[in-house]
Structure 1
């Protein structure tokens, strides 16, 4: 097993890094063996067992009834304001009293990995006292009829662009997390070419804008997987019994081992929090720990064409940073942005998106004046700390709040 000298010089040479590297080298072989074993009836059986397991956890939901601010409890309203076959736009707002001041709007582009958007619950809770929040919430591909057609990475860009236009981009703040940073930046850039106002601000958290340098176990695996191999072994047809029967997907139960591989200590921390909360007799903490475990484990299926596009466009060919990505026949030109305020945030211990992967957006948006751009690296913060937990509350959120609302 080899640990890169560059990571050692960056101070990332620690037991967790060693553990991550070992998991990467062994789990990838296990995933290959699992995928090879899942054929025909075996796949249908495993698929059904996984669906039963996540059903027992409950469907992840935001369940935000109220938020606390300045000693007041403010009721929260949630609704779906726009919807396609593949994605819903959820709206969250609260009664802030008669301040006379219009609350800013924030479009939260949830990660495009296998998790439900409810994983962003703490982000929404933090933002609500000061802003109306809209969240892109993808539909589980197992529930999308085959007649709805395919859903490519380009379609994600176009969907986010449509949401931005409908939410009045000149007054809109955009916050994108993890894999959603790539299509969110592309959608913002396409607004300029379409003659629309630019977003007021754009915040990118822990995403693979340019994953070529400082590889992580996850980006290394994504960059080396032959698309033909992944299509043959990593994608499968939704079996009968679901609305999406016949649709080719990257199943949630195959995603979960990859997730554990990329961030193995996360599951241990969640279980430790749960046990610790039970020992302390803190009923509220136990409920929150149970919610976190359910959200982390309830993986959804992704359209096969979308994940294949992501592997090719983002991780293997790096079309965005090379300046050669075209969406719907038009080039993606982040350098055309002029007015948007750009903030990029990374975690120094992020083992999913590596150092510089997100900050690369700063070099692509060269048309934005330097005083409108800022990059922040949160010391000691891992990937999930960028949108939940102590690092989010004490370091990431204050920076995001000041940039979006302040």
Structure 2
């Protein structure tokens, strides 16, 4: 019922959004006589703000058509290497003959599209051969494709790594640190020849018992049944995945906003002021951020509920109680894959120590195969996007990968 009410709301806001977009153009377009009337700038800004608050946000494009390598502009082609019902493995093929380390960048399945890692991929693509997990919105997956749980996520990671081969390096950002660790542990236990050279874990919930955040506390203060009864809904009829049980993206987005409501209100007010002053660079920066931030996808119900139970309530990975296909997940089996962990000192989603806990679990790695980085003055998004990512974190990761290539 909640999903249906959301669709009704979208249907109502659609015409309103179109009207306010037209109003903004009428009072700002230089070819419109209304743009030269008193208060036209204020009216255009108000219409523009109303339009962006009410519009529906689609999945943004990657926009990685070119990159610069040794001062030369190089074309980049987006290719789908593996196409599975819930995820596509995308390869950003560079039009240049160059033997760079091959990297699997594992994007989080946590409400936003994989394009949230655009800045991460843009940096990596200059000196690495990049493959990215591009998760499919669950409401677009027909119910006949079956279910998708956390263990299925682990199997997807194993399949992708086996396809890419042994000279691969894997970077996981936030949520996928747990299933990636599980996949590598199982591969190591089997002495799989396709174990990657290195793994970089960034801002992930490896052990959520350490420095619990607001996200962690919500998962532990509510019983499992509460999440199943209140947050799981069926996809409405107008989508290909009609009838599938999902954790809707709009609920996840509401949770994101609720964590820092004052910050978002201030951001939108500043956006209005930038429109009034004609600060085009600040206006575009706001649009780029919220075009990404407001574009959300539905997660399969099985995956979401498995994550709540396995990662946040029962801590199965750090406790050594996670069993997949009859085999216990033991990170101590990892001996051939170097480990680097990255945390943000101001991360309010994955608290301090949660990601670095991977070093304790991977007890049999030698000191020469380990690296720890805690980025000062850096929040959750700052460890994979923005100036600190580009200037401080990315160079360290790139050096770590090449040291173990």
Q: TM class by shorter-chain length?
A: 0.7 to 0.9
SS in 2 for 1:93: strand
Q: Which residue of structure 2 lines up, in the alignment, with residue 398 of structure 1?
A: 395
Matched position secondary structure for 1:402: helix
Moved more, 265-274 or 211-220: 265-274
Q: Which residue of 1 aligns with 2:88?
A: 88
Q: 1:173 matched to which residue of 2? A: 169
Change (3 A) 1:347 1:366: same
| Cα distance between partner residues in 1 of 2:103 and 2:261 | 32
Map of 2:50 onto structure 1 = none
Alpha-carbon deviation of 1:236?
A: 0.6
**Residue of structure 1 in register with 2:360 after alignment:** 363
Cross-structure match for 1:300: 297
Point out the more displaced range, 210-219 or 39-48: 39-48
Confirm or deny: 8 A CA contact 2:102 2:128 kept in the other structure.
yes
Q: Offset at 1:193?
A: 2.7
Q: How many residues align?
A: 365
Query: TM-score scaled by structure 2?
Result: 0.84
Residue 354 of structure 1: how far off its partner (Å): 0.3
1:378 equivalent in alignment to 2:375 = yes
TM-score, scaled to structure 1: 0.83
Unaligned runs of 5+ in 2: 18-53
Deviation at 1:105, TM superposition (A): 0.6
Aligned mates of 1:158, 1:387 — CA distance in 2:
25
- Stretches of structure 1 lacking an aligned partner (at least 5 in a row): 1-37
Which of 164, 182, 188 lines up with 2:184 in the alignment?
A: 188
Alignment of 1:2-401 (within 5 A): 39=2, 42=5, 44-46=7-9, 56-96=56-96, 101-168=98-165, 170-197=166-193, 198-264=195-261, 267=264, 271=268, 286-401=283-398
What residue number does 1:23 align with? none
Q: Is the 8 A contact 2:101 2:129 kept in 1?
A: yes
Q: What is the distance in 2 between the residues matched to 1:347 and 1:311? A: 23
Counterpart in the other structure of 2:32: none
Distance in 2 separating the partners of 1:312 and 1:124: 31
Which has the higher mean CA deviation after the structures are superposed, 327-336 or 309-318?
Answer: 327-336
Q: Tell me, what secondary structure is at the counterpart of 1:122?
A: helix
Describe the shift of the 1:280–1:50 C-alpha distance in structure 2 as closer, same or farther (beyond 3 A): closer
Q: Secondary structure at the match of 1:179?
A: coil
Per-residue CA deviations over 1:147-197 (Å, capped at 9, x if unaligned) read 1111000000000110001000x2000000000100111111121233313
Distance 1:229 1:94 in 2: 47
Determine which structure has more spread, i.e. the larger CA radius of gyration: 2
Could you report, residue by residue, the CA deviation over 1:275-297 in whole angstroms, capped at 9, with x for unpaired residues? 68767867566445422211111
